[in-house]
Structure 1
């Protein structure tokens, strides 16, 4: 694998100049609707950067090189790259006619629409399992769209970009367009995933099982069987690939899901605990407090105060990303 050339360290002034700020007006229908924004970026010769939101890059024309973490990937028309939050990536060596259509999602978008998206074949693999395994050195796969599919998605992105925000129905239309685009990508991912990734794909079945059955008891034996590995081989490979034991990973994901429920629903703490697989409320409270630093009740109060503050602030920035040395 080719080595990624390192950029020289930037001065403080250069770093400040390279901060990209997204304002409330940059998000279609504002922060409260948690919808995405689509825009075309020409001549996208971009240094390493990371952001706090999901971004999908559709390559419309030209050729370049996409650097994702420690991977170097040729980028050309029809390529689609899904960039999860906090993942470093860059575009280098692009031609003058290199155009990217970016679809960026407010960080709460997937929380809001997860019940509708998770049942889609390929969604868990594409948006949760694959980014996790990529970040820990596992398999990597990106989508290459045929011309007719790229044209359909581009048309939908154009429609999303042109929506008139004055109409109350526009927010719902935008959400439907975003989910339709995601559904098309999931279908393409399931249909075209290369056979060369089948070994890692077998292992990813255990991760999919965790995500789909997080609220249920999960045994090492069942996870190993899903991965087509012996118990000992599964434990060894899981720790090597993910960087932690299955038990620790499951607890981490349960705490993460609990945080989403505390932020976005009025469920009682006991109900939240049950929904994410804790059947002893006191155990859940201790585990959540140890992981987050606040009790579930304190965490919910803080998040509600943040949400109220966000509504009262004008065009302050929502999220920023900076180019990295």
Structure 2
């Protein structure tokens, strides 16, 4: 799971680890700058509806009302100044979308940002109320007993990201070459559900395992192995929530031939076994701390 570093919190009433989570967030008190950049294993789309916040993410910029911020998974960022901002915050698991071919294209805007496009998209004023309505609807659906159905969740996520994409000018703003860490994270997201080791990733990146792990840890705070495990655990949680597959089958689907090893890693990451996690979150509200952005 993501490191517990200081940042702006995403309040997720359904508990930590769901494939998609959304909430309303406001900061009306004084907020000191985050002491260091944070990274997390989920992609974030933040829609500012009031106030401003200055963010460090491959440079500094001030997000204003009517603008959307895109944070790809693994992207270091921190809030350096906040002036009574109000946000809709949407987070989702990129590995889970890639596992579902019908949803994989939703990552396209985040890939543009990874490749150098602006992380901020200004929404035309006539479209802002509709975009906020989509956030409200997704939140209301997620708060239903048992949570939103995967189909409804995917449909609303698609509409939200489509609104952002239609407002963006990716071609005019992109052009920066992808770096080693960006390429590594992209490769892990697309292959972590297969048999994959840090040595395999290093070979694909044409680097030594030691060099790659050092570069990735320095940039994101986690090792290559930790990113592999994180992606697998994300997809495992999605399957625990939205399928009736037994734990041994889920273990195999996320890259573990040994179910016992999978259960041990899952317990280490979440504090409970996969079966206990499913029982807690599939029909309950859960009690884990919310994630941070």
Indicate the SS of the match to 1:257: helix
- Identify the residue that residue 195 of structure 1 maps to in structure 2: 175
1:104 aligns with 2:89: yes
Question: 1:91 and 1:178, CA in 2 relative to 1: closer, same or farther beyond 3 A?
Answer: farther
Structure-2-length-normalised TM-score: 0.59
- Post-superposition Cα deviations, 1:15-50, rounded to whole Å, max 9, x if no partner, equal xxxx998889xxxxxxxxx875679x7x97763599
Indicate the SS of the match to 1:277: coil
- Identify the residue that residue 11 of structure 1 maps to in structure 2: none
Does structure 1 conserve the Cα–Cα contact (< 8 Å) formed by 2:54 and 2:81?
yes
- Tell me how far 1:214 sits from its aligned partner: 1.6
Gaps of 5+ in 1: 1-18, 25-33, 131-138, 312-316
- Identify the residue that residue 73 of structure 1 maps to in structure 2: 61
Does structure 1 conserve the Cα–Cα contact (< 8 Å) formed by 2:53 and 2:81?
yes
- Identify the residue that residue 117 of structure 1 maps to in structure 2: 103
1:247 aligns with 2:225: yes
- Tell me how far 1:302 sits from its aligned partner: 4.6
Residue 182 (structure 1) aligned to one of 161, 164, 168? 161
Indicate the SS of the match to 2:88: strand
Does structure 2 conserve the Cα–Cα contact (< 8 Å) formed by 1:66 and 1:90?
yes
- Post-superposition Cα deviations, 1:77-111, rounded to whole Å, max 9, x if no partner, equal 654224799x86475357xxxx85x3334889x97
1:157 aligns with 2:150: no
Does structure 2 conserve the Cα–Cα contact (< 8 Å) formed by 1:80 and 1:143?
yes
- Identify the residue that residue 246 of structure 2 maps to in structure 1: 268
Does structure 2 conserve the Cα–Cα contact (< 8 Å) formed by 1:45 and 1:91?
no
Supply the distance in 2 between the matched residues of 1:305 and 1:35 (Cα, whole angstroms).
Answer: 16
Gaps of 5+ in 2: 1-8, 15-19, 35-39, 141-147
What number of residue pairs does the alignment pair up?
260
Supply the distance in 2 between the matched residues of 1:144 and 1:216 (Cα, whole angstroms).
Answer: 34
Does structure 2 conserve the Cα–Cα contact (< 8 Å) formed by 1:118 and 1:124?
no
- Tell me how far 1:259 sits from its aligned partner: 3.2
1:58 aligns with 2:47: yes
1:92 aligns with 2:82: yes
- Tell me how far 1:247 sits from its aligned partner: 2.6
Residue 274 (structure 2) aligned to one of 262, 281, 299? 299
1:122-137 equivalences in 2 (<5 Å): 122=108, 125=111
Supply the distance in 1 between the matched residues of 2:250 and 2:99 (Cα, whole angstroms).
Answer: 16
- Post-superposition Cα deviations, 1:193-214, rounded to whole Å, max 9, x if no partner, equal 5334x243x5312211211222
Which protein shows a greater Rg?
Answer: 1
- Tell me how far 1:277 sits from its aligned partner: 0.6
Alignment RMSD (CA, Å): 5.3
Structure-1-length-normalised TM-score: 0.55
Supply the distance in 2 between the matched residues of 1:161 and 1:283 (Cα, whole angstroms).
Answer: 40
- Identify the residue that residue 3 of structure 1 maps to in structure 2: none
Question: 1:274 and 1:186, CA in 2 relative to 1: closer, same or farther beyond 3 A?
Answer: farther
Does structure 2 conserve the Cα–Cα contact (< 8 Å) formed by 1:61 and 1:77?
yes
Supply the distance in 2 between the matched residues of 1:222 and 1:243 (Cα, whole angstroms).
Answer: 20
- Tell me how far 1:274 sits from its aligned partner: 1.0
Does structure 1 conserve the Cα–Cα contact (< 8 Å) formed by 2:134 and 2:160?
no
